[in-house]
Structure 1
Amino acid sequence: MTVALAVVAGVLIGLSLGALGGGGSILAVPVLVYLLGQDAAQATTGSLVVVGVTAVIGAVTAHRSGNVRLGQGLVFGMVATGGAVLGAAMSTRVSGDVLLAAFAALMLVVGAMLVVKQVRGRRGRPTESDVPPTDDPIITFSPTFACHCPRALKILVTATVVGALTGFLGVGGGFVVVPALVLALGLQMRHAVGTSLVVIAVTSAVALAVRAGADVRPDWGAVLTLTVASALAAVVGARLAARIDTGKLQAAFTVLVLAVAVFMAARALPGLV
């Protein structure tokens, strides 16, 4: 029964990732906790495997399509490692109820962001994809030293936040990375989506390495089943993206995220009182 649940959940996560370009991995933790019976520490650790492997496969696919700026992704990911290490270390020092309550709050924020994005899209307001790209370097050393410090600070802060979210809650943080790559690095949206997968792969690997010494042992059979199902379904979802109405799928996904967030909050908050 556990294997069947993991396969079904993995397929749903993978399809949403492939068809929508991100976001589905945020469902990995609630799936691991409420469907597969793992505690918060096990789930947020196991989620890093699901997120990281799916990101690597997605990044390879995006790179073959020419949609990855590998150098910029690796640099952003390395900057984010500080936050990933800090977040992973902090996660081992808080209770499971705190982890799940924080995750529920994050899901509410993500759900709200998705709602705003859809409302703006319907009203024809500009989104991140409408920002004109720029190839101006942030720091140059020749012929003279120059620094675009506001952009550098934005990248530092955003990368640290992304790393901390990944390390603490086991999420990819693509909903933060993509706008940051567009606004701070001036990438076009298709490049930002592909490059964000590189960032997520780096931060997930670092956070998982830190957690490896924390004596947290997820049910690796369930985690690996979920990961394989998600990765395979993501490929199918990417192929279906051109044939289905992703707007309606995005709306359904938003409702699902908000519903799961409310459910998690209702389960976790009583434990904090």
Structure 2
Amino acid sequence: MEVAGYLASLFIGISLGLIGGGGSVLTVPILVYFFRVEPVLATAYSLFIVGSTSAVGALQKWAKQEINFKVAITFGLPSLITVYWIRKFLIPSIPDVVYQHNDFIIQKGLLTLVLFAILMIAAAIGILKPQEISRPVLPQTQGLVLLGVVVGVVSGLLGAGGGFIIIPALIFYASLDIKTAVGSSLLIIALNSLVGFAGDIFHHPIDWIRLLSITALGISGTFLGNWLSGRLPASRIKKIFGWFLLLTGLFILGKELLF
């Protein structure tokens, strides 16, 4: 299973290189089901893997001048503060048994996986449905700050980068073209994830050899993803990835709740 897990780790970077997001929602299931990492620890590992992989992807986009640093800072700063606070203070305070009534028990690990599956399904629906361009309901700065906090909550609680929220936000609120939105998204995800991991580092034992091995494969995948992005139709990539997320999310829900 670990060999399959290492192969699957390539797709973390491929996804980030192709569409500027999605890698984070693959990382936790790969860690849990292929490497048998406990779910809450998997969210911490995910932050490091996705953060490092996104940082390399962002450098590649920066070389192509496809990052808007002003917008990235406006969106990223409130997100950074939120994700660090959640990983440093909120996550350690959540008990292992979140709810219990007689024989019905909800553990922190189970809740994490169920919420993650819901996140995957929501992301899949957002990717698969036809995109409708709508006018922002808030001024640019307010909208970016508010959505930055939302992404911080998602990253902090579930170890996900939130690229499926970031990219539409940057397009609609900051009027960025898709390539600049993808590059800016990678920078925001990298900063969010690594700052979130910094809040975790003293709360969990870290298997650095395994973590760095998976990260190295994810980084390798970004180069392949960038190469493929110029050769495959974006609409086909998004559709395949959307269906993959949907089926994976349904699988996790079924496995954790029904079997």
Size of the alignment, in residue pairs? 244
Deviations 1:139-163 (A, max 9, x none): xxxxxxxxxx733332221000111
TM-score (norm 2): 0.86
Deviations 1:69-122 (A, max 9, x none): 123313321121232124323333151111111111111100110111xx34xx
- Distance in 2 (alpha carbons) for counterparts of 1:204 and 1:21: 14
Counterparts of 1:112-127 in structure 2, within 5 Å, are: 112-116=125-129, 119-120=130-131, 126-127=132-133
Query: 1:152 maps to what in 2?
Result: 141
Shift of 1:207: 0.9
Shift of 1:127: 4.2
- Distance in 2 (alpha carbons) for counterparts of 1:87 and 1:263: 28
Query: 1:186 maps to what in 2?
Result: 175
Does structure 1 residue 102 correspond to structure 2 residue 115? yes
Structure 2 portions without partners, runs of 5+: 96-107
Counterparts of 1:78-227 in structure 2, within 5 Å, are: 78-88=77-87, 89-92=89-92, 93=94, 95-116=108-129, 119-120=130-131, 126-127=132-133, 150-214=139-203, 216-227=204-215
Shift of 1:252: 1.9
Percent of pairs with identical residues: 29
Shift of 1:57: 0.6
Contact kept, 8 Å, 1:33 with 1:40, in 2: the verdict is yes
Contact kept, 8 Å, 1:38 with 1:219, in 2: the verdict is no
| Aligned Cα root-mean-square deviation (Å) | 2.2
TM-score (norm 1): 0.82
- Distance in 1 (alpha carbons) for counterparts of 2:117 and 2:23: 15
Query: 2:101 maps to what in 1?
Result: none
- Distance in 2 (alpha carbons) for counterparts of 1:260 and 1:219: 26
Of residues 228, 244, 257, the one that matches 1:240 is 228
Does structure 1 residue 257 correspond to structure 2 residue 208? no
Which structure is larger by alpha-carbon Rg, 1 or 2? 1
Shift of 1:266: 1.9
SS at match of 2:46: helix
Query: 1:138 maps to what in 2?
Result: none
Q: CA 1:65–1:206 in 2, change beyond 3 Å: closer, same or farther?
A: same
Residue type of the partner of 2:16?
L
Shift of 1:64: 0.7
